[in-house]
Chains A and B, each alone.
Chain A
Amino acid sequence: MAAETTNTQAVGAGKTLLSVKDLNVSYGAIHAVQGISFDIHEGEIVTLIGANGAGKSTTLNTIAGLVKPDSGTITLDEKNLVGQRAHKIVEAGLALCPEGRRVFSRMSVAENLEMGGYTQPDSQNAKTVKMVYEHFPRLRERKNQLAGTLSGGEQQMLAMGRALMSRPKLLMLDEPSMGLAPLLIEEIFQIIRQLGDAGTTILLVEQNANMALKVADRAYVLELGKVAKHGTGQELLHDDDVRKAYLGA
């Protein structure tokens, strides 16, 4: 018991921020998430890895309130999130940077960031936007450009910056490396590490298991809607099953 507590303390920096218990989600007849449980502690980077259809994105979308679960509990700072509407969940301190970036292509970079800070007062946004431009200097250079004219990598940066604008307690990133060139993937993951070092708690969903495990403090492996394994990023990087299934070793 004492050993386990020490273990958690060593890995996670602080108290439990997000707690997901026995989550079940279905799309019609498809039972996409089957009793997933996991915790995220303050200051951690946690990743969910797994193949296509393992239920990773569904889990994030459910936490964000876009999809309703069949059963299970989700709490942020001990406040229940299940049944809350998506915009209330943002107010509660959770931001999802969605798969495929989904920036507002007909709005400028600055306006996209403004939308990210929709729940925050203007005075706060003025400060947050400076912080975002520090992490993503390229966005500052292009702040008056329409988001639709940005490159894929820049759009990903914008999507991440936009999610940060709500000053989330927990930032959820869904497949940030998708469709990007290898060099850009490196850059995106460097920024994720940077954000983590700056104290942002991050839940990262990735198909690029190698990069995700390297950057993460802890990881959960999802298989067919269930948690198949969990451990620290380093442990799973060296786990034989994980190496075979997800790292191509």
Chain B
Amino acid sequence: MFLTQVLNGLQLGSIYALVALGYTMVYGIILLLNFAHGDIIMFGSYVAWIALVQLGLNPAIAVLLAIFGCVVLGVLIDKVAYAPLREAPRLSILITAIGVSYLLENGVQLLLGADAKVVPSIIDLGTVQVFGSTLSGTALLTVAVTIVATVVLTLLVQKTRLGKAMRAVSEDMGAARLMGVNVNSTISFTFAVGSALAGIAAILYSMAYQQVSPTMGVMLGTKAFVAAVLGGIGSIPGAVIGGLIVGFSEVFVAAFGLSVWQDAVVFLLLILVLVVKPTGLLGRPVTEKV
């Protein structure tokens, strides 16, 4: 029973972590809180639903389409809505992000209706018995996929040429330009990676909850945002740790029969962490040597 709850916490936390990574990467590079990020997940889930239910495609193709759809949407949002505001005050771009979020939610609602749709099972993994606990295959897969995605992302950022360009742009956009880095394409690439993670999260979320609705990204996005801030926004390991903390607290609060407090506890945690450590658990101190 306890093991099942731990796995549930890991599963939910993994999904939050994947979404939080997208927030943290975009924030890291252009200091934007991309409020439309949660809606990208909603979009990915709808792509999966359309592919599976409307078009009757093979689940593997539906998964790829969903991830690809998220990447295209993420890059498109940056190009159309954010890139023209690169030199504008940060408040303008923040408000734009909120606008994009509403546009996506209401656009989908207009096209496909406000009611939730049922996403059929993508793959049936059954259950595993460990020490007398029944563990869901979907949960195990979610955790495994998140571990792989985090490792790949870390290697990408630390070791590859593009990853180093991302770090350089995030630290000093002007200096990165002077190195010959194409800042715009580096930012696009960051959106692409963040959105691909959102696409993966969309699939894992759909597998766990089997339904999509136009506003599903709101709470999911907000919780993941809390996770990113909790872990220290801009930090990749911080996003993962923040995601897991948020996921675990929700599951355990519910397990103690306090599920009405589930959301409140997450925000309470955020307040507590910010009071004690305003930069988040793994956030960098703001002061820098000149």
Residues of A within 8 A of B (CB): 64-66, 85-87, 90-91, 95-96, 98, 100, 102-107, 111, 114-116, 118-119, 148-149, 162-163, 166
Within 8 Å by CB of A118, from B172, B180, B289, B290, lies B180
Can you add 8 more A-B contacts, CB < 8 Å, to A106-B167, A114-B164, A118-B180?
Answer: A98-B178, A102-B175, A105-B171, A106-B284, A111-B164, A115-B165, A115-B176, A148-B289
Name 18 interchain pairs, CB-CB below 8 A, sorted by A: A85-B182, A86-B178, A87-B183, A90-B179, A98-B174, A102-B174, A104-B168, A104-B171, A105-B171, A105-B289, A114-B164, A115-B164, A115-B165, A115-B179, A118-B161, A118-B180, A148-B288, A162-B179
B147 lies within 8 A of chain A by Cβ? no
B86 lies within 8 A of chain A by Cβ? no
Q: Are A107 and B179 in contact, with the CB atoms below 8 A?
A: no
| Minimum-distance CB pairs A-B, first 6 | A90-B180, A119-B180, A86-B177, A102-B175, A118-B179, A118-B180
Contacts of B161 in A (CB 8 A): 118
B94 lies within 8 A of chain A by Cβ? no
CB within 8 Å: A-B pair count: 67
Residues 278-290 of chain B, each 1 if its beta carbon lies under 8 Å from chain A, else 0: 0000001000111
CB distance from B182 to the nearest CB of A (A): 5
Contacts of A105 in B (CB 8 A): 171, 288-289
Instruction: Please provide the chain B residues from 260 to 280 with a CB less than 8 Å away from any CB of chain A in the complex.
Output: none
Q: Are A107 and B171 in contact, with the CB atoms below 8 A?
A: yes
Q: Are B175 and A104 in contact, with the CB atoms below 8 A?
A: yes
B181 lies within 8 A of chain A by Cβ? yes
CB distance from A132 to the nearest CB of B (A): 14
CA distance A36 to B190 in the complex (A): 40
CA distance A85 to B175 in the complex (A): 14
B175 (CB) vs chain A CBs: closest residue: A102
Q: Are A87 and B181 in contact, with the CB atoms below 8 A?
A: yes
Q: Are A91 and B167 in contact, with the CB atoms below 8 A?
A: no
Contacts of A98 in B (CB 8 A): 174-175, 178
Instruction: Pick the most buried of B165, B183, B284, B290: most chain A CB atoms within 10 A of its CB.
Output: B290
Q: Are B288 and A118 in contact, with the CB atoms below 8 A?
A: no
B177 (CB) vs chain A CBs: closest residue: A86
Instruction: Please provide the chain B residues from 137 to 185 with a CB less than 8 Å away from any CB of chain A in the complex.
Output: 161, 164-165, 167-168, 171-172, 174-183
Given A86-B177, A148-B289, A107 contacting B168 (CB threshold 8 A): yes
A165 (CB) vs chain B CBs: closest residue: B179
Contacts of A64 in B (CB 8 A): 178
CA distance A87 to B173 in the complex (A): 12
CA distance A102 to B172 in the complex (A): 8
Contacts of A90 in B (CB 8 A): 178-180
Q: Are A106 and B171 in contact, with the CB atoms below 8 A?
A: yes
A100 (CB) vs chain B CBs: closest residue: B290
B158 (CB) vs chain A CBs: closest residue: A111
A114 (CB) vs chain B CBs: closest residue: B164
Q: Are B180 and A166 in contact, with the CB atoms below 8 A?
A: yes
Q: Are B177 and A87 in contact, with the CB atoms below 8 A?
A: yes
Q: Are A91 and B168 in contact, with the CB atoms below 8 A?
A: no
CA distance A85 to B174 in the complex (A): 12
Q: Are B180 and A107 in contact, with the CB atoms below 8 A?
A: no
CA distance A116 to B174 in the complex (A): 13
Contacts of B288 in A (CB 8 A): 105, 148
Contacts of B182 in A (CB 8 A): 85, 87
CA distance A90 to B168 in the complex (A): 16
Contacts of A111 in B (CB 8 A): 164
Contacts of B175 in A (CB 8 A): 98, 102-104
Contacts of B171 in A (CB 8 A): 104-107
Within 8 Å by CB of A87, from B167, B180, B290, lies B180
A96 (CB) vs chain B CBs: closest residue: B178
Within 8 Å by CB of B178, from A95, A100, A149, lies A95
CA distance A103 to B288 in the complex (A): 12
Q: Are A118 and B165 in contact, with the CB atoms below 8 A?
A: yes
CA distance A101 to B147 in the complex (A): 38
CA distance A115 to B288 in the complex (A): 21
